[in-house]
Amino acid sequence: MRTLFNAEMADLADDLIAMARHVDAAINKTSTAILTGDLDLAQSVIADDEKLDELEDQVDERCVLLIAQQQPVGLDLRTIIASLRISASLERMGDLAEHISKDVRRAYPASAIPDSHRELIEGMCAAATEAAGEVVKLLETRDLNIAAAIVEDDDALDDLHEAAYKALTADGYHGTPQETLDIALLARYFERFGDHAVGISRRIVYLVTGDHSGNRAKI
Amino acid sequence: MRTLFNAEMADLADDLIAMARHVDAAINKTSTAILTGDLDLAQSVIADDEKLDELEDQVDERCVLLIAQQQPVGLDLRTIIASLRISASLERMGDLAEHISKDVRRAYPASAIPDSHRELIEGMCAAATEAAGEVVKLLETRDLNIAAAIVEDDDALDDLHEAAYKALTADGYHGTPQETLDIALLARYFERFGDHAVGISRRIVYLVTGDHSGNRAKI
């Protein structure tokens, strides 16, 4: 019975890793799409999001069955509850990647990012893809050093988000309202992406160390 | 044992109602604050959000203990899992009300909404406060007619959100970039608020009817 339970807990962990890899691919593709205006790539992110939704349902169903059939307590139960939260965050990160790709599609054949903000968006893409890769590694290894790196990427995203807004309201800025709208939303999507990554990493830190401080996960 | 369990399930339901009332108060206050520029009201929304975070932690802890100690199955277990999801949505709705109040504070003593968009924002405030009140009633009564009303409010918020963006990019619009930024984010916050309300109502519909279709709750 215990062996079966352990196998099912391992399957649950694998499901979350599969979701995280999906998100990692989505954010990498959507970053390339926004920087290059690649419509096909953007379309593939939009089409693939459904698969992530299915994975989330699978995780949720597995969690409910695990609790009902195995009646776990203690750390096992908390791991299952955390998995429910993590799957919701990963699903949401996929939605954000999809939103960005929809911006690419709407703007096509023009670019969705004006020259005034290209460097800032490049920075956000870099920090977000780093964070997405680290979330995969954290779920695979439970190495807490990775959690610290995710917090750093989130700090970078927060700074870039603020810088993007400041640049929009600076004296020398003369973008069109459409450009202002696009940048406002893009910066917001990337900032939320970082929040979700930190939320996931705090839940993992809690499971590994039992330390609940700083565990107000924003999901 | 069963009586104790039923009492604890009732406490859990009461906790969610308390959270929903808190969100209802926050969205009412933040709506008044954004329409009137009332700084004190905005500050009170920002200060009160911490209480909602505490309520969320309390719900989460209660859910974990209920599962561990009572080992529920079937509908009871699904109700507890749904409660975890609903508490996360309510907490997030509180965050959105707080974001709006922070916009009021940043713009003060000026208004955070330009005349060009006042009517649209009034409409969003009306739909959001209606939805917030309906979420309270739905949790109190489980009356499924209310779920339909919440979907209608969300549709109204989606339409107003789109209209706000269209107005920002229309030929006759001459707002400053700061105004464009403010409206872009405000409209997004209200739109997300509606999404969370619908997510909650779908989870309740599922618990009452067992109908999972349309239950891709966007939380």
Q: Comparing B87 with A214, which gets the higher pLDDT?
A: B87
Domain coordinates in residue numbering, chain B: 2-209
Token pair in block for residue A88: 């919701």
CA A189 to chain centre: 10
Instruction: End-to-end CA distance of chain B: give it in Å, rounded.
Output: 34
What pLDDT score does B1 carry?
61
Task: Give chain B's radius of gyration (CA, Å).
Answer: 19
Q: What is the per-residue pLDDT for A167?
A: 95
Query: Tens of pLDDT along B32-79?
Result: 999 999 999 999 999 999 999 999 999 999 999 999 999 999 999 999
**Chain segment B86-131, per-residue pLDDT in tens:** 999 999 999 999 999 999 999 999 999 999 899 999 999 999 999 9
Q: Cβ of A219 and B168 within 8 Å? A: no
Q: At residue B82, does pLDDT exceed 80?
A: yes
Contact criterion met (CB < 8 Å) for A68 and B74: yes
pLDDT digits (tens, 9 = 90+) for A100-121: 999 999 999 999 999 989 999 9
- pLDDT at position A218 over 80: no
Strand blocks (E) in chain B: none
For residue B50, CA distances in Å to A173, A192, A203 come to 37, 20, 20
- Name the closest residue on chain B to residue A61, using Cα atoms: B78
Instruction: Mark yes or no for CB contact B77/A68 under 8 Å.
Output: yes
Going from the C-alpha of A169 to that of each of A113, A135, B68, the distances in angstroms are 16, 33, 52
B169:A177 CB<8 A = yes
pLDDT-derived band of residue B210, with 50, 70 and 90 as boundaries? Answer: confident
Cβ-based contacts of B188 with chain A (< 8 Å):
185, 188
Q: Which residue of B has its CA nearest to A184?
A: B181
Per-residue model confidence as pLDDT tens digits over B6-36: 999 999 999 999 999 999 999 999 999 999 9
Q: How far apart are CA A187 and CA A164, in angstroms?
A: 7
Q: Which of A6, A144, A22 is nearest to A87 (CA)?
A: A22
Contact A141, A153 (CB under 8 A): no
Q: State residue A212's pLDDT score.
A: 62
Q: What is the ipTM of this complex?
A: 0.90
Residues A173-177 have a mean pLDDT of 92
Q: What is the pLDDT of residue A97?
A: 98
Asked if A67's CB is within 8 angstroms of B78's CB, the reply is no
- Taking CB atoms and an 8 Å limit, are A81 and B77 in contact across chains? no
A82 touches chain B (CB under 8 A): no
Percent helix, strand, coil in chain A (nearest 5)? 85, 0, 15
Q: Which residue has the higher pLDDT, B56 or A1?
A: B56
Q: What percent of chain A has pLDDT over 70?
A: 95
CATH class for domain B2-209?
mainly alpha
Smallest Cα distance from A85 to chain B, Å: 8
A20: Cβ contacts below 8 Å, ≥ 6 apart: A90, A132, A135, A136, A139
CB pairs under 8 A between A and B: 78
What long-range pairs does B203-209 form, CB within 8 A, spacing at least 24?
A: B203/B82, B203/B85, B203/B86, B204/B82, B204/B86, B204/B138, B204/B139, B204/B142, B204/B144, B204/B147, B205/B144, B205/B147, B206/B78, B206/B82, B207/B75, B207/B78, B207/B79, B207/B82, B207/B142, B208/B142, B208/B144, B209/B144
Burial B87-123 (b: 16+ CB within 10 A, else e): bbbbbbbbbbbbbbbbbbeebeeebbbbebbeebbeb
Q: What is the per-residue pLDDT for A201?
A: 96
pLDDT 10s digits, B136-171? 999 999 999 999 999 999 999 999 999 999 999 999
User: pLDDT tens, A125-151?
Assistant: 999 999 999 999 999 999 999 999 999
State whether A180 and B181 contact (CB < 8 Å). Answer: yes
Q: What is the pLDDT of residues A197-208, one digit of tens each?
A: 999 999 999 888
Degrees (nearest 5) of the Cα angle A211, A212, A215? 130
Residue A214 pLDDT more than 60? no
> Both tokens of residue A78?
């908390």
Per-residue pLDDT tens over the stretch A28-52:
999 999 999 999 999 999 999 999 9
Query: What is the distance between the alpha carbons of residues A56 and B211, in angstroms, rounded to a whole number?
Result: 18
CB atoms within 10 A of CB B63: 20
Q: What is the pLDDT of residues B165-201, one digit of tens each?
A: 999 999 989 899 999 999 999 999 999 999 999 999 9
**pLDDT confidence of residue B218:** 36
A206 touches chain B (CB under 8 A): no
- Listed as own residue / partner, the contacts of A37-43 with beta carbons closer than 8 Å and 24 or more positions apart are A37/A104, A37/A107, A37/A108, A37/A109, A37/A110, A37/A111, A37/A112, A38/A104, A39/A104, A39/A105, A39/A108, A39/A109, A41/A101, A41/A104, A42/A101, A42/A102, A42/A104, A42/A105, A42/A108, A43/A101, A43/A105
The answer for residues whose C-beta is within 8 angstroms of residue B18's C-beta and 6 or more apart is B55
pLDDT at A210: 75
**CA distance to partner chain B, nearest, from residue A177 (Å):** 6
Q: Give per-residue pLDDT as tens, A156-171.
A: 999 999 999 999 999 9
In 10 A of CB A14, how many CB atoms? 12
User: Which candidate, B119, B110, B116, B122, places its Cα nearest to that of B32?
Assistant: B122
Tell me which residue has tokens 């995969």. Answer: A136
Instruction: Spell out a b/e string for B154-187, using b for 16 or more CB atoms within 10 Å of the CB, else e.
Output: bebbbebbebbbebbeeeebebebbbbbbbbbbb
Identify which of A121, A146, A123 has the alpha carbon closest to the alpha carbon of residue A198.
A146
